[in-house]
Structure 1
Amino acid sequence: MPTTVQPSVTSIGSVDAQRVEGALSLIAPKWTTWSAQTLAQQGRPMRVCDVAARLPFVSEQFIGKRLAQMHSDGLVTRAHDRHGAPYQLSASGESLSRVHRALSDWSQTNLSLGQVAGAERVEDAVRRLHLRHSTAVIQVLDAGGPMRFVHIAEEAGLDNSFTRQRLNRLQTDGLVARTGPRHGDPYVLTDAGRALGPVYAAVEHWSNPVAAREHSAPPVPVASATRTHTGVSLASDGIRTTAALCRSTAAPSALFSHAPQPQPRVPAAVTAQSASSRGR
């Protein structure tokens, strides 16, 4: 029986948790995936108003802010910084197709979301995974569960209060479960949590500068160096970072297999909750 994937590729414990969470934080803000997939679907530079016209459930002003942040993070480029200049995906933005596909496949297999658009499914998956130290907690449970929360905290190097808070969130998101009803009962990963290996592998590969240099085409240059609040520096040779995103494999826009059109209309209540902050 042929085996084409090495265990380390899909092992939860083999990935760099800090790198994975840093990369996820760049695509976690609401409407980032929608914007990226719209640009990929069209396959050409687009002005803010053009992107917004294809996402009628989001205001043009908000799309402008999101694209500006994506530009700072190296996901999109533009020929110049004049008002109204069009955006297009950078090599790093194009290579998000693998990450989007891994997130969507994991979600479809493990989560019951009903009928939702592909981009919304991806953004929901990122929301469950990007919070700080979530990956470390999942890695600890993958390696040694079932475990009580004090042991999880010790293994992950976190204080008890934060660990309990993170475990509660992971329970809510369906990634972790408690083995019994009592307060001190151990925690284990759910099937969805145990299935995260391919997702983490895709995200880490996307963020890995070594893999990028070995496999990618020349990157789309960024005009000038910029620093974002995440500590990611952008320069002409691509994104550089100490703990999060660098460049990765360039992929044709056609590989975005979960384009945002057609899509169900997003409820007004959801749109009203959207904000320009980095988190959710």
Structure 2
Amino acid sequence: MPSTSTADPQAVETALRRLAPNWTTDIVRAIAKYGPTLPVREVAGCVPALSESYASKRLAGMRQDGLVDRDDAFDKRAPYRLSRQALTLGPVYRSLTQWSSEHVAPTMLERPGRIEDALQRLQPIGTTKVVQLLAEGGSMDFNRIAAESGVYRQLLAVRIARLQADGLVVSNGSRNHGLYTLTEAGQALGPVYATVQQWHDRHTAKAPARSGSRVLTVPEQGVQGARTAAALRRSPVPSSLFSHAPQPQPPVPYAVTAASHPARGR
């Protein structure tokens, strides 16, 4: 099993925050299922409780994050399609779903809900670093975590409280006298971090190409870019993007607070 210590906290959290905004997973799933291209109106129609105006804003944000593309940037009616980065999200989604199924109370029945719930737990700044420290050093008090993580103390207090609420960390005492330890769910995050790191590196210009693997790049501009875009429009969305995860094991129960399930407004 991959260790949490091998992940780059900044890279992992940068990738998770790109995927975490509400409705992002649902929109990726809608385009994957009903695409390969969909206009804003149809995207909104595929996602319950998502208004067309908010779908437009979310798609614009996803385009900035490199998750969707549009052939005509100046035509608001032009349909959206999944980018090459989004088309390779299958392993990330499967890893998040498996971790949620095995270690998080089953409050989300639909797979996109499980993925978004897992992303909300893992994406806050400082979460990955704290998990890494506790995975490597075992139980630690607040002062040691603050000293070794480099996280500002007031932010760290909020972050640890959130980690406890989300079932990733437990304490045997108060903030000033207790020791913090990872739960089973926190200890099991190694494969998730490894998969997210691999996805991030694959689509980061600085990442070296691995021998024997094909690294996808952003289409070039001009005639070649138009040909590539046309090929992508004709290509079916890979069925593996939202394929089923392994059968879940009995979950480890713990209290899930409202912070773990932010309200999804229009």
Partner of 1:219: 217
Whole-Å separation in 1 of the counterparts to 2:175 and 2:70? 56
Root mean square deviation of aligned Cα:
2.6
Aligned 8 A contact 1:90 1:219 in 2 = no
List gaps (5 residues or longer) in structure 1: 1-6, 225-235, 237-250, 260-269, 276-280
> Normalising by structure 1, what TM-score?
0.76
Moved more, 44-53 or 189-198: 44-53
Partner of 1:152: 145
The structure 1 residue matched to 2:131, chosen from 126, 132, 138, is: 138
CA deviations on 1:195-237 (whole Å, 9 max, x unpaired) are 000100111000003366653454352769xxxxxxxxxxx9x
Aligned 8 A contact 2:88 2:241 in 1 = no
Partner of 1:40: 32
1:83-94 superposed matches below 5 A: 83-94=76-87
Deviation for aligned residue 1:127: 0.3
Whole-Å separation in 1 of the counterparts to 2:126 and 2:221? 33
Aligned 8 A contact 1:119 1:258 in 2 = no
Partner of 1:111: 104
1:181-192 superposed matches below 5 A: 183-192=176-185
1:99 equivalent to 2:92? Answer: yes
Residue type matched to 2:59 in 1? L
The structure 2 residue matched to 1:11, chosen from 3, 6, 17, is: 3
Aligned sequence identity (%): 38
Q: Which runs of 4+ in 1 moved over 6 A?
A: none
1:254 equivalent to 2:239? Answer: yes
Residue type matched to 1:143 in 2? E
Aligned 8 A contact 1:149 1:186 in 2 = yes
Aligned 8 A contact 2:142 2:176 in 1 = no
SS of the residue 1:88 aligns to: strand
**Matched positions, count:** 233
List gaps (5 residues or longer) in structure 2: 227-235, 245-260
> Normalising by structure 2, what TM-score?
0.80
Whole-Å separation in 2 of the counterparts to 1:25 and 1:271? 15
